Amino acid sequence: MVHKQLPLKHYFIEPLWKNNQVLVAILGICSALAVTTTLITALTMGIAVSLVTGFSCLFVSLLRKWTPDSVRMITQLAIISAFVIVVDQFLRAYFYDISKTLSVFVGLIITNCIVMGRTESMAKNVPPIPAFLDGLSGGLGYGWILVLVAGIREFFGFGQLFKYQLIPASFYASAENPDGYQNLGLMVLAPAAFFIIGFFIWISNSITKDS
């Protein structure tokens, strides 16, 4: 098989940029719109998706020789959902505040196309270690885009980064100073993420085309 000749490093590096799941494969967009209003949630989501994808790929790959072809999708989904529930339960126990804001979206990792995309296109064809690395970095590739988008949205939408106020309160418009600065309300809404991700895809396309 072709995959076996590639160095392990390749599996980890490839999905971060050249085969980035958000920028190149345009997967996982729906959750990228939803959880990128603040950096904390985007970061948590990125880590959660990385872990779920990594471990799902690992187990799909471990079982690849025993999995009958006709039920391989169901097998992948069962493994993915088990890990998603584990992550959800873990967040609920130790990061209650974050799990309150992320609740719905953590459950929706199951339907995140990245996880199934990686298990179906890579993990079921390669040995466990490369599969794990590929899955992990597939999630990380999604995570760093999310963090970037969230950084832009949080800064312009709330004037904050990681809930830390960066734009001083004195800049803001008030009764005495009606012409002052105002947060960009559009950034808080989902369409803003749509534009920003579109912009990123455009940049990444023009860079890859040049090289």
Partner 1 sequence: MSPPVNRKNSNLYILIFIILLCTACGLLLAIVAYSLKGPQEAAKTFDQSKQMLIAAKVLNHQGEFTLIQEDGSLLLAYLDKQEGILKAVQDKKVAPATKEEIQQLAAWRIRPLLTDSEGNISTLKAHNLSLADYLSSNKGGGYATLPHKLFYAILSNDATVKNLSEEEVAKEMEKVSIIVIPVSGFGLWAPIYGYLAIQRKDADSVIGTSWYEHGETPGLGANITEAWWQKQFYGKLIFQEGSDGKTDFSTGEMGIIVVKGKVKDVFGASPKSKSAVDGMSGATLTGDGVTKAYRDSLSPYRNFFIQLRKEEGNGTQATST
Pick the binder of partner 1 from 3, 10, 18, 92 (CB under 8 A): 92
User: Closest CB to partner 1 among 55 and 132?
Assistant: 55
Does position 173 bind partner 1 by CB under 8 A?
A: no
Per-residue DSSP letter, 181: B
Q: How far apart are CB 165 and partner 1 at their closest, in Å?
A: 11
Q: What are phi and psi of 164, to 5 degrees?
A: -95, 120
- Partners of 199 in the beta sheet? none
- Does position 47 bind partner 1 by CB under 8 A? no
The residues near 55 (Cβ < 8 Å, ≥ 6 apart) are 83, 132, 135
Please tell me whether residue 129 binds partner 1 under the rule CB under 8 A.
Answer: no
Shortest distance, position 197 Cβ to partner 1, whole Å: 17
At residue 104, φ and ψ (nearest 5 deg) are -65, -40
CA dist 39 and 196 (Å) reads: 15
Nearer to partner 1, 14 or 88 (CB): 88
Q: What whole-number distance in Å separates Cα of residue 44 and Cα of residue 50?
A: 10
Instruction: Name the 3-class secondary structure at 13.
Output: helix
Buried b (16+ CB within 10 A) or exposed e, 94-105: eeeebbeebeeb
Measured from the CB atom, the residue of 65 and 209 that comes closer to partner 1 is: 65
Query: Which window, 92-100, 121-129, 140-148, 174-182, contacts partner 1 (CB under 8 A)?
Result: 92-100
Q: Determine which residue in the list 113, 188, 200, 201 makes contact with partner 1, applying CB under 8 A.
A: 188
Piece of 6-14, 91-99, 164-172, 173-181 that binds partner 1 (CB under 8 A): 91-99
Q: Around 84, how many Cα atoms within 13 Å sit in the side-chain half-sphere?
A: 21
Q: Residues touching partner 1: how many (CB under 8 A)?
A: 31
Smallest separation (angstroms) from partner 1 to the CB of 207 = 32
Within positions 48 to 87, which residues make up the interface with partner 1, using CB under 8 A? 63, 65-71, 74-75, 78-79, 81-82, 85-86
Tokens 């800064």 locate to: 155
Site residues, partner 1 (CB under 8 A): 34, 37, 63, 65-71, 74-75, 78-79, 81-82, 85-86, 89-90, 92-94, 96-97, 100-101, 103-104, 188-189
